[in-house]
């Protein structure tokens, strides 16, 4: 007779997934459907029924946090029978354990070190230096990303087949060969090696792969939709004997292809594992039915999916709101006002604003600072604290105020000008001794020939440029234009554009957003005062805060109220995603929309703007194609919204707008009204 303790409170589908122990099982777990409960109940059931000892169960998660939570939950279910799960962990932690037992098979010793990202970059940098590769143009981070991509595909250097369309890959491959040999020489492995080496051992040594595949009677995998190629191969080897592999995930929440995740692992699970049973967890314990209906109808437009329909026992709840704003400033103002009203009833901790791109937080941050709404940036840094923004501000400050030593010190070697720590130390000592600014100290040291020739060139150039930019400012060059000049003439723009780096797209977008912000101020002084006040305000409230984050960062989280601004074509779905991946990119963007909507428990509001202030200019916007895919039956359009939003949108006349924010789109709209 089954112990009902761990089966209690499970719905029929959850119970079926818990009890099914014979053969491959794919659990299609919709958002908020209790997948962790099923996984932990399943482990408890296996142990309770004596199907396997704890050390014969392999349970794989993507994060240490998830592994810890699973361990705690299983222990609670098993009570005194909890003896620990030695093979519960992440892909990397379990691979490290396996690799230490068989390190010699890949030329390592069992006491090998695991190298972190910083040391990886340092090693790549040293290799590039030896190979005469300019790391100013191609960053070590970018090279490592390419190497990781190869490793995630299961490729050692000798396995890589170069693509003709990317001539740089030849150089990267040479670096990869040197890098990999160096790791072996140092008795070191990087994170990607942990899985790659393990799989290669399984491939080469059948006895080792059989040893572990026979050992693990049951294998459970969380968030299976996020696995890459090498992880799926790893699982194939470990499950080949007993075939009892259970993978849990949601293909509709596969949003990490840029990290190597392959949705086909999920979609083709039943083709890889014969006699697969598929169980769908469709009962949602998080959201209202209206929210689920909107999310479900939207995701149905995707072709590549297993398919499911979410339902809940909750009330229908409020309809999902769809709001069109005249511009992004109005969007931030109105959402801020709504939050002001909602905080009387809801905790700010239960309110989230989910954006497609991190630069979008700026407008909301500005508004919240102005009206005193505390906020946090989840998984990111506040706008004016981002490194590239602080660099730009430092340039502007030293031009405006030549005695600003802190700003001078920040930008003295950004971009690289061959000015090292020793030179900076000497400049500081001279300035202190002679009671002058760092800039004056630099000039005097140059005049006295106390700067090394190579360093002198870079430092002299900076001093000359600073004076030139001050002249530009004095000659009434617009402060917005001045920053663009600085970025070009300093080499900062070139550094970002030429330096291949996965983070650079965000950096460039943030700088473009900064240029837009500057346009709102009459002069440089006013803008710098604004930044100083914005950054000096104590935002580290201990109490409640509104959550600002990207939709990618929101996965796995939930909130009572969710705002989803910026649903405009080109921004969401993101143009780059479509250009690079075509239909697959569009489907992933739609899955991202699905993730965003299903974070909401009670209230969800989607919005877009007719105009966006971009790089200092007004740009006409068009509603995202996803807006057209929202089911009218479950959507409440505000009273300013009509069917043809792009042309015949009628603004709420109760809202007053200032002339200063009128855009070309708004002007054309007014002209059209007058012509009628």
Q: What are the residue numbers of the active site?
A: 35-36, 222-223, 253, 599
Ranges of H-type helices in 313-437: 328-342, 361-371, 387-400, 405-411, 421-434
Q: How far apart are CA 52 and CA 54, in angstroms?
A: 6
Q: How far apart are CA 301 and CA 629, in angstroms?
A: 8
451 and 419 Cβ atoms separated by less than 8 Å:
no
β-bridge mates for residue 95, sequence order: none
Phi, psi for 268 (deg, rounded to 5): -105, 15
3-state SS of the chain: helix, strand, coil percent to 5? 55, 15, 30
Helix, strand, or coil here: 110? coil
Q: Is 69 exposed, middle or buried (0-12, 13-18, 19+ CB in 10 A)?
A: middle
- The pairing of strands 617-620 and 600-614 is antiparallel
357 and 571 Cβ atoms separated by less than 8 Å:
yes
Q: How far apart are CA 568 and CA 613, in angstroms?
A: 13
Alpha-carbon Rg for the chain, nearest whole angstrom, is 28
Helix, strand, or coil here: 601? strand
Closest CA to 39 of 269, 171, 224: 224
Q: How far apart are CA 18 and CA 32, in angstroms?
A: 17
DSSP result, 510-552: HHHHHHHHHTTSSSHHHHHHHHHHHHHS----SS--EEEEEHH
Residues with Cβ within 8 Å of residue 62, at least 6 apart in sequence: 90, 91, 222, 223, 226
Q: What is the Cβ-side half-sphere exposure of residue 584, based on CA atoms within 13 angstroms?
A: 10
- The pairing of strands 320-327 and 635-637 is parallel
Helix, strand, or coil here: 153? coil
Q: How far apart are CA 414 and CA 395, in angstroms?
A: 10
Closest CA to 320 of 649, 551, 631: 631
Helix, strand, or coil here: 19? helix
Closest CA to 666 of 364, 639, 674: 674
In Å, what is the CA distance from 58 to each residue of 91, 99, 201? Answer: 10, 16, 18
DSSP result, 251-281: GGG---GGGT--THHHHTHHHHSTT-EEEEE
């Amino acid at each position: 007779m089954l112990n009902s303790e761990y089966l209690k409170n499970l719905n029929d589908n959850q119970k079926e997934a818990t009890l099914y122990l014979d053969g491959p099982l794919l659990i299609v777990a919709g958002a908020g459907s209790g997948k962790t409960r099923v996984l932990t109940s399943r482990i408890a059931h296996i142990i309770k029924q004596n199907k396997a000892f704890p050390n014969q169960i392999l349970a794989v998660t993507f994060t240490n946090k998830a592994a810890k939570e699973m361990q705690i939950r299983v222990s609670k279910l098993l009570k005194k029978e909890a003896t620990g799960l030695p093979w519960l962990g992440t892909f990397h932690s379990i691979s490290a354990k396996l690799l230490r037992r068989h390190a010699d098979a890949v030329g390592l010793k069992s006491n090998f070190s695991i190298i972190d990202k910083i040391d990886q970059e340092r090693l790549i940098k040293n290799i590039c230096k030896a190979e005469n590769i300019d790391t100013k143009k191609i960053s070590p981070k970018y090279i490592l990303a390419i190497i990781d991509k190869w490793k995630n595909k299961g490729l050692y250097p000798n396995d890589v087949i170069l693509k003709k369309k990317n001539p740089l890959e030849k150089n990267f491959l040479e670096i990869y060969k040197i890098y990999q040999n160096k790791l072996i020489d140092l008795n070191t492995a990087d994170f990607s090696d942990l899985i790659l080496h393990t799989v290669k051992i399984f491939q080469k040594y059948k006895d080792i792969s059989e040893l572990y595949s026979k050992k693990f009677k049951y294998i459970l995998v969380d968030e299976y939709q996020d696995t890459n190629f090498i992880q799926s191969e790893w699982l194939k080897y470990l499950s080949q004997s007993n075939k009892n592999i259970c993978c849990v995930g949601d293909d509709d929440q596969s949003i990490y292809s840029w990290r190597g995740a392959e949705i086909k692992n999920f979609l083709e699970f039943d083709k890889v594992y014969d006699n697969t049973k598929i169980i769908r967890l469709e009962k949602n314990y998080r959201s209202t039915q209206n929210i689920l209906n909107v999310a479900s109808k939207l995701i149905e437009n995707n072709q590549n999916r297993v398919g499911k329909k979410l339902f809940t026992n909750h009330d229908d709840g409020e309809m999902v709101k769809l709001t069109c704003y005249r511009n992004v400033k109005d969007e931030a103002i109105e959402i801020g006002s709504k939050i002001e009203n909602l905080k009387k009833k809801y905790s700010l901790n239960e309110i989230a604003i989910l954006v497609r791109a991190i630069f979008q937080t700026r407008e909301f941050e500005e508004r919240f600072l102005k009206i005193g709404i505390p906020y946090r940036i989840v998984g990111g840094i506040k706008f004016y604290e981002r490194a590239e923004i602080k660099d730009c501000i430092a340039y502007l400050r030293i031009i405006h105020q030549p005695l600003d030593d802190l700003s001078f010190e920040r930008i003295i070697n950004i971009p690289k000008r061959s000015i090292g720590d020793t030179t900076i130390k000497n400049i500081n000592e001279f300035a202190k001794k002679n009671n002058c600014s760092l800039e004056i100290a630099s000039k005097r040291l140059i005049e006295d020939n106390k700067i090394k020739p190579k360093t002198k060139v870079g430092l002299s150039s900076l001093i000359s440029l600073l004076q030139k930019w001050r002249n530009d400012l004095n000659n009434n060059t617009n402060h917005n234009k001045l920053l663009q000049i600085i970025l070009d003439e300093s080499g900062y723009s070139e550094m970002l554009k030429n330096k291949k780096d996965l983070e650079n797209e965000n950096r460039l977008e943030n700088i473009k957003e900064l240029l837009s912000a500057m346009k709102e101020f009459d002069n440089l002084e006013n803008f710098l005062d604004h930044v100083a006040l914005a950054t000096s305000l104590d935002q580290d409230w201990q109490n409640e805060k509104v959550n600002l984050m990207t939709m990618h960062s929101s996965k796995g989280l939930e909130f009572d109220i969710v705002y989803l601004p910026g649903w405009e074509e080109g921004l969401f779905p993101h143009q780059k995603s479509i250009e690079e991946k075509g239909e697959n990119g569009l489907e992933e963007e739609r899955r991202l929309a699905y993730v965003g909507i299903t974070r909401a428990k009670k209230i969800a509001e989607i919005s877009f703007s007719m105009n966006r202030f971009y790089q200092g200019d007004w740009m006409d916007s068009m509603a995202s194609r996803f807006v057209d895919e929202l089911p009218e039956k479950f959507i409440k359009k505000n009273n300013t919204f009509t069917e043809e939003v792009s042309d015949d949108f009628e603004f709420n006349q109760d809202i007053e707008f200032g002339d200063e924010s009128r855009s070309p789109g708004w002007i054309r709209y007014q002209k059209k009204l007058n012509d009628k």
